Structure 1
Amino acid sequence: MKNYIFKTYVLSLILGCFFLNSCTELDLSQEDAASSGNWYQTSEQFRESLNETYREVFWPEDEVYEGMDDDWQRRDALNAIKSGSMSSENTGWTTIYKGVTRVIAVIEELETQSVLTDEEAQQYMGEANFLRASFYSYLISHFGDVPFYEQQISVEESFEIERTSKDIVKEKIYEYYDSAAENLPVSYNGLNYATKGAAFAMKARIALYMGDYEIAAEAAKNCMDLNAYELYPDYGELFESTTKNSVETIFHIPRSEELNVIRADNVQDFLPRNHGGYAGRNPTWELLASYECVDGLPIDESPLFDPQNPFKNRDPRLLETIAPFGSLMDGDGLSPSSGSNFMDIDYNPHPFAKVVRDYENNIDIRNQDTRSIGAYAAYNGLLFKKGITKDWKDLRTDPDLIIMRYADVLLMYAESKIELNQIDESVLTALNEVRDRAYANSTFENPAITTTNQDELRYIVRNERRSELAFEGRRYMDLIRWRLAEKALTGYTYGLLTVTVDTNIDVAPTGPLVDNLVNQNLWFWGQTPEIDEDGLPTFTGLLNAGYCRTLNEIIFPERQYLFPIPEQDLLLNPNLTQNPGY
């Protein structure tokens, strides 16, 4: 049997350590698949081999690990992206190429097998094409030109293979997705394999990343025309662990506590300290400022915005994404110093709120989520709420890993048509359908989009993507493809002014946070942040007025629009070249 490659970018011996220092254990030997043709004797063996590539490790989300974008941060720490220190030593493509190679092994067996029915062979080939298209999509969108192969390659060949232009690879990706769409069913009666709609939707995503707007619009429309998906009626509920394989979900990786397939990416770091968490991974102030007000205007233009009550009169998705506090709407009887019930305990970062209500046990407890009690409470006062429920406290949460959902397809369709300047009623309908669902369970009505101006709609659809898809792993690549990463990821991370820390609830806090904000009736924000023409907030005014402090300086050099080629592969293969600037 030919000696096939399991080299660095196919199956690294440095198990699981890949891409920005995230770690996931990978097994060296597949127990449910094999590289030998002797394995493929039954339909079940083909099925098991394909199932291996549906594992979560092969579907990385960009900002999930350390806060790669401008939507969330890890206290005052910086990862390689935001510190501008990406190098060929701390990133790689190992795991994705492992997926590519496993799929190719299945494809080669499918081409010569004689044990499957025509229907089985068609479906498995469709899935395999979907999978390799998706893996190569990740590679070209992050690394640019990459080694490309459609057959297994030998060890000798692996040390000689060159990078193929991403323009060539993307055409093959489109072919793979087209073939997948042709061969895959619309649904499997509840099973979770790749479908026709998933092939259309994922093709739209990579086409959008590549700037091929006609292809993206057509693929998104093909998915929409299947009439197989709809928006889940409750935006907040959609992301909870109890919502499985929803009507909105097009492609996902299922999780199951029963099968020990759970969310394992530092769950405790997202939990409030009052719930036993660390409150160490926080939404940014930029994300909080980016949501429009209920009149459809940005916060620096809307008369409804109150910087002392930044959650008041805002897009309802904000209150489902970031744990709110203060007054939320006129007449609710709340003030800037009020908290809000989050998983049966009030969340309130106000420095005077040293005690909060535990509604489940009907008692008052010391508030570990204010910085006047806990030195490591959220540095900027914000916590994520999206998808976070009480089961997270057991560190056994199992929400679906949603790779593609229908709202994203609607927004991709709208954006593609806007960039083509083919603005018609279908574009406005797609945008307003997403917004209608956002407002559906609130007391406000969607301020419907009516403009047909291309520049105005470009701003709107980009902001819609940020509001709709926050905390889902999409923002980073949006900034990359819009060429806004240098602007959005250069500057500072911001947080609350300092305050004395004293766990004695009877001791009043002191310090700049109290003197400059609280005692001046200026909590939470001392003034309204400004929003620029790209929808990016700036906090220079608050900083200069002494209303906040910087936590860390961030920088995004131009070279980082592409990840570097891993150094170990450059050493092993002299035919590989490095991306500029590394």
Structure 2
Amino acid sequence: MKIIRLFIGLLMSLFVVSCDVDRIPETALSDQSFWKSENDLKAAANYLYTLLPGMPITDDIWSDDAFATASNQISDGSRLVPATDADFNAPYRLIRAANNLIEKAPLALSNGVGQAQANVYIGEALFFRAFAYYGLLQRYGDVPLILTTLREDAAELSAPANSRSEVIARIYKDLDEAANYLPTPTTLANVGYGRISKTAAWAFKARAALFEGTRSKFHAYGNPATHLTLAQEAAKKVMDSKEHGLFASYFNLFQLAGEGRQNRENILVKQYGVSVTESIVNHNASRDYQTGRSNPTKALVDSYLMTDGLPITKSPLYKAPVASIDVFTNRDGRLSETVAKRGDPWTSDLAIFTIALLNAQRTGFAMRKYMDFTDYRNLRSYIDLPIIRYAEVLLIYAEATYELSEKISDTDLNLSINLLRQRGKIPALTNVFVQTNGLTMRDEIRRERRVELAMEGHRYWDLIRWKTAEMELPKPILGNYFFASEFGTQTKPLLTADNYILVQEARFRSFKPNRDYLWPLPTNELALNPGLKQNPNW
């Protein structure tokens, strides 16, 4: 049974908000007769789950890992300051709903609900508030920190933005308090699967702290060690809890076979409906990927190691491909579980994959995650979206540990990313292996993150925090080798001198370091609040 079932119509009426930040009078949102029971608190918390992000189909086309059927304004540098922006407004809708629950919970206490029961839902609201502020921090840096539901005349509506240091501090505080209130996944058990747990709060704190720690380190501000230490500690709490482990099949993580409590790798998921006859909410990932909304690039595919643990530029196992299937020969197993190859089950239009259709999969590579024959036919899918996986926690631990002192022991590697390499069927990463083969530990830790979390919406933000976007994003986008006999009579694309598909030339891509590491605030928000200032050079 899915958690988003009860009181959706009621909650939508309770939490309707305007496009700008918290400008509806309190009387329009408050319903003193509602907050009477634990069911009321649960219904209010259930609404927060409806605001979890959906499938990150197009997030990776902002980066060098994916390309759609056409350029986008983020990767080509052509975007303008928007009048309104859901990436700014939607988090504040979530923040208001979370604030409302936190404020109204005492009404349920006065009606006989126990403090421990109420604290669980307060903990969920604190988590969601932190989740929303993290999305704002990533994009905009300094933003208004709103911790109460506001009346029309609230002073906060014309106040300057809070500093990013204040915002990240509040994120940590909310997550720490949430973790104190929330149950473990074991306590939630099958009946509570999908609800926010204690380990979800720790894992998300680790994500936020790694982002801010590495961003402050490579952008040279603040105290990176403080954040990196918090990231390392929070990740280790999840690891030491023994509540989670890696799922045996990487491919099935993104299929119906990976759903439910039996998959202990999932820490936070967005749940979808059960079937066409029990359809609460669905997505259409199979069709989206088949029609080319996001296609892997050569840069991503090339980052997968050979089975000897070496990159293609160093491994004697690597041979230039003669046929499309050769791209997958002697490679990290996660490559063939992420990118479609000849012989894979595909769609109802083409039951077995042969070669990409270049009018849709313009890179000549096609996505395999979330592809399902039945979902494609039904035009809807109910495969749950893993938002936080245990694999990410292991990656956070390794990266935070390394960046704190720019070294990491083999013991810590074995506790973390070597578990991922084992699942990918490639050799363990050790300090001796790095030194012997002329590699760098930082690059190999980052490589592991790139391939493990491929096409899951992380790459663009990694380039932002590492301050490498200015180097990587202006590069040309290349695709697969053009196998003329396999691509057949399709319209021949533009090719490089060595016969790789040239999807987008470097001259059509741009990243301005003095501007693009932060996003522009919407002009409507600047007009509504004169205290807000536009981010530099927008």
TM-score computed with the length of structure 2 as normaliser = 0.82
Question: Deviation at 1:508?
Answer: 7.4
Give 5+ residue unaligned stretches, structure 2. 1-14, 214-226
Question: Residue 362 of structure 2 is aligned with which of 379, 384, 393?
Answer: 379
Contact between 1:200 and 1:219, CA under 8 Å: does it hold in 2?
yes
Deviations, residues 52-104 of structure 1 (Å, cap 9, x unaligned): 0111x4426666357222211112x1222112123321634111100000000
Question: Deviation at 1:5?
Answer: 10
1:177 and 2:165 are equivalent in the alignment: no
Question: Deviation at 1:268?
Answer: 1.5
Q: Please name the residue that 1:296 is paired with.
A: 309
RMSD: 3.0
Q: Please name the residue that 2:375 is paired with.
A: 392
Q: Please name the residue that 1:255 is paired with.
A: 272
C-alpha change, 1:208 and 1:236, in structure 2 (3 Å) is same
Q: Please name the residue that 1:143 is paired with.
A: 140
Secondary structure of 2:256's match?
coil
Question: Residue 320 of structure 1 is aligned with which of 337, 346, 357?
Answer: 337
Deviations, residues 416-458 of structure 1 (Å, cap 9, x unaligned): 001112623123331111111222xxxxxx3111117798221
Question: Deviation at 1:315?
Answer: 0.4
Secondary structure of 2:92's match?
helix
Residue type of the partner of 1:385?
R
Hey, which of these two has a bigger chunk of helix by percent? 2
Q: Please name the residue that 1:87 is paired with.
A: 80
| Identical columns (%) | 32
Contact between 2:21 and 2:157, CA under 8 Å: does it hold in 1?
no
Q: Please name the residue that 1:50 is paired with.
A: 45
How many corresponding residue pairs?
Answer: 479
CA distance in 2, matches of 1:508, 1:321: 24
CA distance in 2, matches of 1:398, 1:406: 21
Deviations, residues 15-60 of structure 1 (Å, cap 9, x unaligned): xxxxxxxxxxxxxxxxxx95333321111111111110111x4426
Q: Please name the residue that 1:492 is paired with.
A: 476
C-alpha change, 1:42 and 1:510, in structure 2 (3 Å) is closer
Deviations, residues 465-509 of structure 1 (Å, cap 9, x unaligned): 1110112111121111111112221132234799999xxx9x974
Contact between 1:181 and 1:196, CA under 8 Å: does it hold in 2?
yes
CA distance in 2, matches of 1:477, 1:470: 13
C-alpha change, 1:220 and 1:342, in structure 2 (3 Å) is same
Deviations, residues 212-250 of structure 1 (Å, cap 9, x unaligned): 110000000011111001100111111102421321111
Output aligned runs, 1:473-552, within 5 Å: 473-495=457-479, 509=489, 543-545=496-498, 547-552=500-505
Q: Please name the residue that 2:430 is paired with.
A: 450
Q: Please name the residue that 2:294 is paired with.
A: 281
Question: Deviation at 1:512?
Answer: 6.6
Larger Rg: 1
Q: Please name the residue that 2:236 is paired with.
A: 221
Hey, which of these two has a bigger chunk of strand by percent? 1
Question: Deviation at 1:313?
Answer: 0.7
Residue type of the partner of 2:442?
R
Q: Please name the residue that 1:9 is paired with.
A: 20
CA distance in 2, matches of 1:392, 1:471: 19
Bigger drift between 102-111 and 80-89 goes to 80-89
Contact between 1:83 and 1:554, CA under 8 Å: does it hold in 2?
yes
Contact between 1:180 and 1:196, CA under 8 Å: does it hold in 2?
yes
Contact between 2:58 and 2:293, CA under 8 Å: does it hold in 1?
no
CA distance in 2, matches of 1:341, 1:61: 21
Deviations, residues 396-421 of structure 1 (Å, cap 9, x unaligned): 21111111111110110011001112
C-alpha change, 1:162 and 1:386, in structure 2 (3 Å) is same
C-alpha change, 1:512 and 1:44, in structure 2 (3 Å) is closer
Deviations, residues 113-144 of structure 1 (Å, cap 9, x unaligned): 41311221121121111111111111112210
Question: Residue 519 of structure 2 is aligned with which of 557, 563, 567?
Answer: 563
C-alpha change, 1:149 and 1:564, in structure 2 (3 Å) is same
CA distance in 1, matches of 2:81, 2:491: 44
CA distance in 1, matches of 2:240, 2:415: 14
TM-score computed with the length of structure 1 as normaliser = 0.76
Deviations, residues 373-405 of structure 1 (Å, cap 9, x unaligned): xxx253222110023121231222111111111
Question: Deviation at 1:107?
Answer: 0.5
Give 5+ residue unaligned stretches, structure 1. 14-32, 272-277, 326-338, 350-368, 440-445, 517-541
